[in-house]
Amino acid sequence: TRLRRPCHSQLGHETPAVALVRASLTNGKPLRWNRVNDLPDFVFFNHSIHVNKGVGCSTCHGEIDKMPLTWRAQTLYMKWCLECHRAPQNYVRPPDQIYNLHWQPPPDQAKQGARLIQQYQIETTGRLTNCSVCHR
């Protein structure tokens, strides 16, 4: 089963920045966000497919619970993304570890990852590196 845990119900829920989020929800005025990761318009990215296929939050975002302000933990360059798309067994986690910001791959990650690829039904025939998967 997929876990749902809104980040700010657990992390930093008493900080002034999150108070702004709550105020926005209460008064209906939208927040003005400063993007940390801003992909080009020609890149398609969907969080849910990554989370549902075993990619943990901290893989891309880092240990945000240790960041007083959120910063970019990874480049998100195409080369970086392709490393995972070419060898997802090195990155996927068990479902109960998706939201664990401090998860570390086990010594037998290749073996565990291969099992998780089957569990998540991740296609490994090269489709993940087809340009049209991300560029639409």
CB–CB of 103/58 below 8 Å? yes
Q: What is the arithmetic mean of pLDDT over 20-35?
A: 86
For the stretch 40-99, pLDDT in tens is 999 999 999 999 999 999 999 999 888 877 889 999 999 999 999 999 999 999 999 999
Beta-strand ranges (E) seen in the chain are: none
Q: Supply the DSSP string of 91-107, one letter for each residue.
A: T---GGGTT-TT----T
Residue 127's SS3 state is helix
More confident position, 115 or 22: 115
